[in-house]
Structure 1
Amino acid sequence: MQTSSEAMAGPLHDSGARPIDSKGILDWLIMETRDQRFIDNIFVDLCERLVQAGVPLARATLHFRIHHPQWLGARILWRKGLTEADIRMFDYGVEDTTQYLNSPLYAVNNGASQVRKNLEAATDDEVPNSLYEELRADGFTDYVALPLEHTLGKRHVVTFASDREGGFETVHLEVLTSLLPVLALVSEIRLKNRMARTLLETYVGPHASEQILAGATTRGSGVTVNAAILICDLRDFTKLSDLWPRDDVIELLNGYFDAMSEPIERHGGEILKFMGDGLLAIFPLSNPRACENLLQAIGEAEVAIATLNQENLARGREALGYGIGVNVGDVMYGNIGSRRRLDFTVIGPAVNIASRLENLTKQAKRPVLLSRAFVELAGRTRDMEHLGAFPVKGLDDPIDVFAFSSSTAQAAE
């Protein structure tokens, strides 16, 4: 006995034209996409196979809501003639815009089982400057938006548009809808894989996330890495957090971390953790420019902090102070923690010295302090200011400490 899904998957005929092999496409989608990691590549291949099978498809999109700290959602667009998808990200807040509220995406996300539009003739009830006007101007004749149902009631949207005179016939829509359950499963797997990677990158950084996804999840697992280490701390944060409203404190911290983090990441550093009002980052010395990149990142961060302080002063707030300690050496990079709760971080004497240097900035009255080991490796001994040898907690011998001279600071900016 043939099931309804099998009936939908069988060859369908287009008004006497050659059969549309929806079963062949369905089999490919189920059996031959397992090694393809990215849903955009699968979607492009799917659209091309539909065209080859006889479906008059000229444009298609996938719309996903994603868990990302910066983006609300993503749109994957295929058009006839393109060999790669166009991927666009959408900011939080787009769901409140008039454009979205008047769109078919809004209707499908809020329960509609289908939104279809004949584009060959405009209608009086059409919203000006709508998606339909854009599609009609680009020569499309028919448009349909359909729900893509993921587990636990998560709903996304897939759309198809035709440029054929008369648009889609019933047989074409039957082919498209017959593929949706499998497309939903295939896309959900890729979306959740991407979501897991995004969440790991967000909370532990790109390199650590790769290590974890590759299986480095055992307590004590790790490697020795030779790296330049940067530790930064915000000054007088306890006083500020006691005096300021909570939302202002959060805004202050976010602004400060943006100013510090973006230059670090831009120059190849990896932020391993935020520690209250501080951060820990490394620049692996596998990159021969690691030390120079770290210095460049500090220079750009200082400029960004100065700009932020100007904004704070203009709003009647105090300027932010900070301390940065820099060292270089071997660190143990891996999983540390309890049996059930791990932290992917770096530890070792080199990290301890960077921390001591950061704390020493209060005594030295300089915002950035660097160890002799780092300065010599960077080849910057002559253009840094030697402040002398300072005793530090936990070390028997004092450490030679350097700071930016005025000329060094200008060169780093």
Structure 2
Amino acid sequence: MNASELHQITNWLIDGARSVVNSPRLMAEVCERLVEAGLPLWRVGFFVRTLHPDIFGRNFIWRLGAEVEFGTVDFKILDSPAFHNSPLIHVFQQGLEVRARVDDLQSRRFPIVEDMRAEGVTDYIALPLLFTDGAVHASSWTTKQPGGFTEEQLSALRQITTPLARVIEIISLRRTASSLLDTYVGNRAGERILGGQIRRGHTESMNAAIWLSDLRGFTALSDRLPSETVVDILNQYFDCQVTAIRSHGGEVLKYMGDGLLAVFPIDEYVGDEQQVCSRVLEAARESRVSVMAMRYPIGDAVERFRFGVALHVGRILYGNIGGGNRLDFTCIGPAVNLAARLEKIASRLQRTVVASEGFAGICRGGWSDLGEFPIAGFSKAERVFGLADETSPA
């Protein structure tokens, strides 16, 4: 093991590993540099827990001569036999290093040893990656070197994990910030906030299709069912829409009780008005099917659900609005107000999907003219359209 090269790698990590742009590249460069310094690595794994509603953690696997493999695991792994029989559980739970050699009888308690033997691996060590907040993450290192790692090589690995953990923590914090912003404010809003748009009044005008929906009979539902049941119903109900909205290029900006506000930006990158509005209408049709198919057993009965969505297109003001240091990244404007009024008309007419004349005029075909309606707060009435294939009230 070349001590001078190891020192250079350590200094490179302490300096922030500035030559790398993401986690896979960091892992590849660390491992390649260690191999060049004389460390006989075969397979290396980084396992980092994350703050995410669906993902327990991310794993990065490097093999000599191959590209880094990247994957995620959900929370089910915590109950899996593979995790409970892995050396990594001791790292995560106790912050201990664990060594497993194929020629060591004690190591046979780990099923991974037989997999290592089949692959020609002779030695394995799992080392904790300790973050500054006390969180424990894990790394694993293997070799095919006859006799396994030497004490000098193990010492080098232990020496490298501390600065390595610092760089991984920085990258993980950036990813967590991005993930949390995506989860709570949406992708486009999250990108803008991370890009520095955090001052009150920092807004921009944007042309967009607007989606505003709510669940029919929600007040009565909330009154007669336990709160926990209502939350579960809402989550399932929103699932019926969010999947369709996101898959067709929309971004959910806000949940308001049972209401949902989403926008579909119209620009040169995503498509013109006709293309975007067609995708919005397809998302509305998919959501309608999903909500109609939704069933929720309550006692001996099965609850069914109805919803309504209003579609409009126009310019909105998109950005930071709020008071003091508590801001909301949202959209406002007459176009949003009109969509909200149209949604109330949809409820009154017992229709599922309604659209403004502007939206229906862009996305032609398949509409029924429902008439002209006065709109509160607007100087003139608005002609409203409903989907022609709604043969019965919603």
Q: 2:287 aligns with which of 282, 295, 301?
A: 301
**How far does residue 87 in structure 1 lie from its aligned partner after superposition?**
1.4
**How far does residue 79 in structure 1 lie from its aligned partner after superposition?**
0.9
Q: 2:79 aligns with which of 89, 96, 110?
A: 96
Q: Secondary structure at the match of 1:401?
A: strand
| Alignment pair present for 1:123 and 2:105 | yes
Between the aligned partners of 2:50 and 2:30, the Cα distance in structure 1 is 22
Q: Quick check: 1:233–1:278 contact (8 Å CA) kept in 2? A: yes
Task: Report the residue type matching 1:223 in the other structure.
Answer: E
Map 1:311-350 onto structure 2 (within 5 A): 312=297, 316-350=301-335
Q: Secondary structure at the match of 1:107?
A: helix
Q: 1:394 aligns with which of 363, 373, 377?
A: 377
| CA distances 1:237-295 after superposition (whole Å, capped 9, x unpaired) | 12212222222212111101111100100110011111111110011111222111101
Residues 150, 315 of structure 1: alpha-carbon distance in 2 compared, 3 angstrom cutoff: farther
1:21 counterpart residue number: 5
Between the aligned partners of 2:251 and 2:176, the Cα distance in structure 1 is 20
**How far does residue 64 in structure 1 lie from its aligned partner after superposition?**
0.9
Between the aligned partners of 1:117 and 1:146, the Cα distance in structure 2 is 12
**How far does residue 315 in structure 1 lie from its aligned partner after superposition?**
7.1
Residues 54, 315 of structure 1: alpha-carbon distance in 2 compared, 3 angstrom cutoff: farther
| Alignment pair present for 1:242 and 2:228 | no
Between the aligned partners of 2:156 and 2:247, the Cα distance in structure 1 is 46
Task: Report the residue type matching 2:351 in the other structure.
Answer: R
Q: Quick check: 1:113–1:146 contact (8 Å CA) kept in 2? A: yes
Structure 1 unmatched runs, 5+: 1-11, 14-18
Between the aligned partners of 1:176 and 1:347, the Cα distance in structure 2 is 54
Between the aligned partners of 2:164 and 2:203, the Cα distance in structure 1 is 38
Q: Which 10-residue stretch deviates more, 19-28 or 181-190? A: 19-28
Task: Report the residue type matching 1:240 in the other structure.
Answer: L
Between the aligned partners of 1:295 and 1:155, the Cα distance in structure 2 is 47
Map 1:202-351 onto structure 2 (within 5 A): 202-286=183-267, 287-288=271-272, 289-309=275-295, 312=297, 316-351=301-336
Q: Quick check: 1:20–1:54 contact (8 Å CA) kept in 2? A: no
Map 1:137-216 onto structure 2 (within 5 A): 137-216=118-197
Using structure 2 for the length normalisation, give the TM-score.
0.93
Between the aligned partners of 2:390 and 2:288, the Cα distance in structure 1 is 14
| Alignment pair present for 1:63 and 2:44 | no
Q: Which 10-residue stretch deviates more, 164-173 or 334-343? A: 164-173
| CA distances 1:51-88 after superposition (whole Å, capped 9, x unpaired) | 111111010111111001111111111111113x2111
Structure 2 unmatched runs, 5+: none
| Alignment pair present for 1:136 and 2:121 | no
Q: Quick check: 1:372–1:401 contact (8 Å CA) kept in 2? A: yes
Q: What is the identity percentage for the equivalent residue pairs of Structure 1 and Structure 2?
A: 38
**How far does residue 329 in structure 1 lie from its aligned partner after superposition?**
0.4
Between the aligned partners of 1:79 and 1:274, the Cα distance in structure 2 is 44
Q: Quick check: 2:292–2:306 contact (8 Å CA) kept in 1? A: no
2:94 counterpart residue number: 111
Task: Report the residue type matching 2:34 in the other structure.
Answer: L
Between the aligned partners of 1:280 and 1:35, the Cα distance in structure 2 is 41
| Alignment pair present for 1:353 and 2:338 | yes
Q: Secondary structure at the match of 1:152?
A: coil
Between the aligned partners of 1:139 and 1:245, the Cα distance in structure 2 is 58
Q: Secondary structure at the match of 1:406?
A: coil
Using structure 1 for the length normalisation, give the TM-score.
0.89
Q: 1:362 aligns with which of 340, 344, 347?
A: 347
| CA distances 1:134-185 after superposition (whole Å, capped 9, x unpaired) | 2222221110001111012111001101112212111111111111110011
Q: Quick check: 2:314–2:335 contact (8 Å CA) kept in 1? A: yes
| CA distances 1:331-387 after superposition (whole Å, capped 9, x unpaired) | 000100002100001100000111111111121121111001011122x1x431111
Between the aligned partners of 1:24 and 1:192, the Cα distance in structure 2 is 25
Q: Secondary structure at the match of 2:294?
A: helix
